[in-house]
Amino acid sequence: MTRNSLMMKFIKILCLFCWYIIGIQATSHWMVTESGLIQPRVDSPFEMARPYDLLAFLNQDTRWDNIINLYHDLSKRQIVINKLWDTVEMDTDVNMQLSLDPNCVKAGQLNSIDWYASVQEDSQIKDVAEEELLLYNPASYQNTDVPDCKKISSLTFSMFAFEHLESMIHRENLTANSELSLPEQISAIMTFEQFGHWAATALRKNSSSWLHYNMASLYWRIKGNAPKALECSRRAVHYAPRIYKDIALLNLGSILHLGKRTEDAITVLSAAVEHDPRSSLNHFILANAYAVSGDFNSSLTHYELCLKYNPTFELAQKHKYGVLCHAAMLKKMMKIRQVLDLLQEELKEYNGREAHWLKSQAAFLRTMRHDEEFDFRNVEKNCEKMSELTGLNIKDLKKQGDKNYLIQYFLDGPVSDYEWSDKKGILAIEWAYSLQRLVKHVEKHASMGPSFMQHEHSKLLDLNIQKEIGPMPVFSDVKNDVKGIPSREANDLKVEIKPTTEQKSTITQSESSELYIGPILYPPSMKINRNIEDFDREPDWPSNRLCKETATNIPDNLDAVFPVFLPFENKGLRLRSLLTDKIGVPASVEHDVPWHPPVCPQDKDSTAFTSKKSQKQQIVTEVQNTDYLRQKLLEYASDGDVEAMKRMQDAEIGQRIYAVVEMDLAPKWLAYTLASLYWRVRGNNANALNCLLTASRSVEQKYKDIVLASLASVYLEMGYFDDALSAAEAAFRISLYEPATNFLLAELNMLKKHRNTHIFHLKQVIRVEPGFMGGLARKLLNGWACLLKDINSVHELDLNEGDICTKVEPGMSMVCEKGGTNCHVTKIQCVSSQERGSTNYLTN
């Protein structure tokens, strides 16, 4: 019994011993508590996946200390960054700043102040004879004539018209918006067209009437044609007597001011003030010009003089408060710039250190043993894991770092550049509004930081920053010679991108090109059916009946040159909502002012072309403008809904194109070509030529004929025939059947009297696109064919046996008229009369 009991006790003790043995756990890592006790730590972060890796073991402590020390360093820097950013947020709240300034409150909305206001002098104040201003009864008055002052009288040079000014020397390049408020100030009993006819009639009766030249200038200002307005104003200044000279000078200076030639405008307007220093209007317009130029002191002086002579001039009072407001805002903007400079320095240092901090975490977690598979290349998961291991708020600090990346991304971009400091005066506040939008955008999309700055984290950050934070070297584990982190694996560090529909970044040319690709309308491989059109089917074409029926539709001037544009969609490019939704301003919403014109970078060849003597007089023709270019511009601005855009001003369309260029939403060449179309609609071929020459240097070869066709048309309009022919033939070699290119070649051959080639290209246009330019090509073809038939100069308008057609190389032939004259290189195939009878298609 005793033995059994002893055995039972022994068994119990043995079981109890085994039970305790089972509960025993060995540990290889120990920690010292705050009370000094040494205790084991089972879940130690220093437990390695490869404990035999001596170099990784030696680097563990360094990495750990780097992570801890950098966390505290970044936290301190984040406090500084937050204070600077709070200052920027507060100071860039433009509306709040304006509400705190009494002058800004009195001025009202700054954006509503028109610094280019159109105000006219009252003729009664100047004692202008009433009979000079007598307007006829509009009921019996026609409206068919326009006051083209350059055609009415010649004025090569005038000592009184400030011909030495740069704006006057290159006055054909001047552009200005239409002054739609002027008609109300001119005449209440006449329409605008009747007023123009009245001025033209008066000038033809008296071609030295300064008053009617001045009125004619107002007509062109309403039309938005600055060069013609300037020509009339020059003559008004030249012929005006001393007592009325300031009126003509005021008009001339206003045109220059409206055309953004402010410095020259100040010179002319100052002369107007000297001629009549008691005219409140002279002081008012001059004060506006000084405000735009940034000379606020001079501007205020002239506003004071304006109000002295006309105390009831409310508009001048409002503009005066506006200048005082702009001056106050400019001082605040300078302070904001200083804060931004400090912020950018802090962000640069912070982001650089954070990048190494993240890499240290990845290196530490890579050598650590994990219970389950862990992707140390994922930055977001790394931060979560390190927060658990260290007890520090690493995850939240990483979120603040993402916001810092976003801020730096925008501050380093085009939105915050300091070009505003070069813009003096009232234009400088645009930067404040841009910065305000930037701040709101950052706050709205702060969570998008990683997606914006993905590449910053995914790089191999192996820069050697020789600084210390705390008692130990901070960045020792990111040196190239550290054995613990092979460069190959460190390169795998990446950021987990959260999907977002609002992400927006700069688009490269190749990427943006893919957004617009569609089918090409007229590829080089297409076949032309020569059995459809009447001129291909009827042997006696053009018949007498055809000539009689189409006589009323034939253009008045068959020798005229018509502007041509090769549409983007012909080459498969679809702009869609590029000028609306892509820039963030739908077609139904008016773009915020101010509106910038889409001025292209100055091309080195553009100045040479515009300065050389025009050949237009040698060509002996005139440019016949149609509505075709404007219609194409409206189509692109409205995504095809032209009716919805007819209310939109040209200047707003220009701003939308400007926004596309600034936001880099399309290939540069496409944006510059679109800008050239805008300038052609505005009548400024010099700016259009500059844009096209700039575009031609970056356009892809497959789209180059888009630029070349417009370039050839502009050359031709400006009188550079040889350059136009060279550009047109280059475009023709790219796309044989393109209607715009064939129409251009038809025009060029028409001017050179190459009748057969001229008619051939017109036929090609109609075969490919019968309704080209609203049927213009068909009207011209019928007109020329009937004309040539009447004078017996042509018996068959296609290649016939009398023509000399010689194949000079594969795909290229030389076509000459009878006698070997008027030779022209073309891609027309040489076919005999026997072959023609059985040939239905003209192929490449």
User: Is 12 contained in some domain?
Assistant: yes
Same domain, 190 and 260: yes
Question: Among positive and negative, which fits the CA dihedral 280, 283, 286, 288?
Answer: negative
Question: Residue 38's pLDDT is what?
Answer: 53
324 within a domain of the structure (yes/no): no
| Euclidean distance between CA atoms 71 and 67, whole angstroms | 6
Number of C-beta neighbours around residue 224 at 10 A: 20
Cβ contact 659:583 at 8 Å: yes
In a domain, 400, yes or no: yes
- At residue 288, does pLDDT exceed 90? yes
The burial of 226, by beta-carbon neighbours within 10 Å (0-12 exposed, 13-18 middle, 19 or more buried), is given as: buried
Pick the last residue of a domain from 278, 299, 315. Answer: 278
Cα(434)–Cα(33) distance, rounded to whole angstroms?
A: 55
> Is there a single domain that holds both residue 459 and residue 484?
yes
**Tokens at residue 69, please?**
């020390």
Q: Averaged over 162-183, what is the pLDDT?
A: 84
Cα–Cα distance measured from residue 532 to residue 530, given in angstroms and rounded to the nearest whole number: 6
Residue 67 to residue 56: CA distance in whole angstroms: 16
Digit-coded pLDDT (tens) for 478-506: 333 333 333 333 333 333 323 333 333 33
The residue among 469, 490, 505 that closes a domain is 505
Residue 262 forms part of a structural domain: yes
Residue 828 forms part of a structural domain: no
Any domain includes 594: yes
Q: What is the 3-state secondary structure (H, E, C) of 168-206?
A: HHCHHHCCCCCCCCHHHHHCCCCCHHHHHHHHHHHHHHC
Residues 374 and 263 placed together within one structural domain of the fold: no
Q: What is the pLDDT of residues 705-747, one digit of tens each?
A: 999 999 999 998 888 888 899 999 999 999 888 999 999 999 9
Residue 193 shares a structural domain with residue 256: yes
Q: Are 564 and 732 in contact (CB under 8 A)?
A: no
Tokens standing for residue 248: 């003509």
User: Is 829 among the domain residues?
Assistant: no
Q: Is position 812 within any domain? A: no
**Cα→Cα distances 740→190, 532, 639, Å:** 41, 21, 21
Whichever domain contains 680, its CATH number is 1.25.40.10
Is residue 626 domain-shared with residue 758, that is, in the same domain? yes
Tokens of 688: 């259009």
What is the pLDDT averaged over residues 832-842? 38
Describe the crossing of helices 739-751 and 776-790 by its angle, rounded to 10 degrees.
30
Instruction: Based on the fold, state whether residues 717 and 738 are members of the same structural domain.
Output: yes
Q: Are residues 336 and 363 in the same domain?
A: yes
With a CB cutoff of 8 Å and minimum separation 6, the contacts of 166 are 261, 264
Q: Are 822 and 754 in contact (CB under 8 A)?
A: yes
Region 795-804 average pLDDT:
45
> What is the per-residue pLDDT across 177-221, written as a single tens digit (0 to 9) for each?
888 777 666 665 677 888 888 889 889 999 999 999 999 999 999
Specify the pLDDT at position 118.
Answer: 80
Whether residues 14 and 142 fall in one domain: no
Tokens of 214: 């001045």
668 plus 707 within the same structural domain: yes
Measured in degrees and rounded to the nearest 5, phi and psi for residue 558 equal: -70, -20
Domain tally, the chain:
4
Per the structure, the complete domain to which residue 267 belongs is given by: 131-171+181-278
- Rg of the chain, C-alpha, whole Å: 38
Give yes or no for a contact between 95 and 81, defined as CB atoms under 8 angstroms apart: no
pLDDT at 223 over 70: yes
Whether omega for the bond prior to residue 450 falls within 30 degrees of 0, making it cis, is: no
Within this chain, do residues 483 and 591 fall inside the same structural domain, yes or no?
A: no
Which position has the higher pLDDT, 519 or 417? 519
